Amino acid sequence: MRLVPIAAVALLTTALLSGCDHGAGSPTTDPILRPPGASESATATATASPDSSAPAFVVISAHGVGVGATNSRQLIDIPYTTDIATAAAQFSTTIGVQPTVTPVPATACAAATATYDWGGIKFSTDALSAGLGDPAFFVSATAAATRSGLEVDAHGQTVGTSLTDLLAHVPGSVSGDRGDGYIEALIDPQDGGAWGVIMHIQDGAVSDFAAPGYYLTGHGTCG
């Protein structure tokens, strides 16, 4: 529904400029990402917008984090195997917003590094990465949008989504109690459900989520 006004403006603009043909543009081969809640028809209509190449949403999966435009074209996809500083630079360039960088001193578990925070989404490192596809960085989301207004979701689910809705609309999703009422949900499961995108549930709804992460087991501290 949020793409309908964009489509209307695009149609009006096409009518006004019908006599000014500047020639066909270059073909686009970028894959299509569905923005949160958008139907296929709305997505197709939005591609006519002259402003549709602007960053609009962030999609988190078990293997990487991507940025999509208003027209649902993928602007960038950053695998978690990318060095964190490189990943942060690529992400910042794509969305046009610089992060808040916080140095993290070395510990017995890991070398010195830093976290990169765009408000609502953050890149960090973690010593407990074995079995998660050898990630060089992790992403966590604490809000439904970044401070610059980009929507943040994982398979259409975001902060504030109810657990009931998540389980009903994401094939393969599961949830479990880690104890003391602390509930996790797993989406985009990998290796038979061992890890993927971990949604943390509080009061029946997603409070935050992160990837890649272990589901229920494997939590702890380095040896």
Q: Give residue 162's pLDDT band: very low, low, confident or very high (50, 70, 90).
A: very high
110 token code pair: 């890991």
Please write the tens of the pLDDT for every residue from 65-80: 999 999 989 999 999 9
β-sheet with 151-153: strand ranges across: 74-79, 64-69, 55-60, 151-153
Residue labelled with tokens 């794509």: 94
* 87 has a pLDDT exceeding 90: yes
Please write the tens of the pLDDT for every residue from 186-217: 999 999 999 999 999 999 999 999 999 999 86
What phi and psi values does residue 127 have, to the nearest 5 degrees? -70, -25
Rounded distance between C-alpha atoms, residue 74 and residue 58, angstroms: 10
pTM: 0.75
Rounded distance between C-alpha atoms, residue 104 and residue 195, angstroms: 25
Please write the tens of the pLDDT for every residue from 102-157: 999 988 877 899 999 999 999 999 766 767 888 999 999 999 999 999 999 999 99
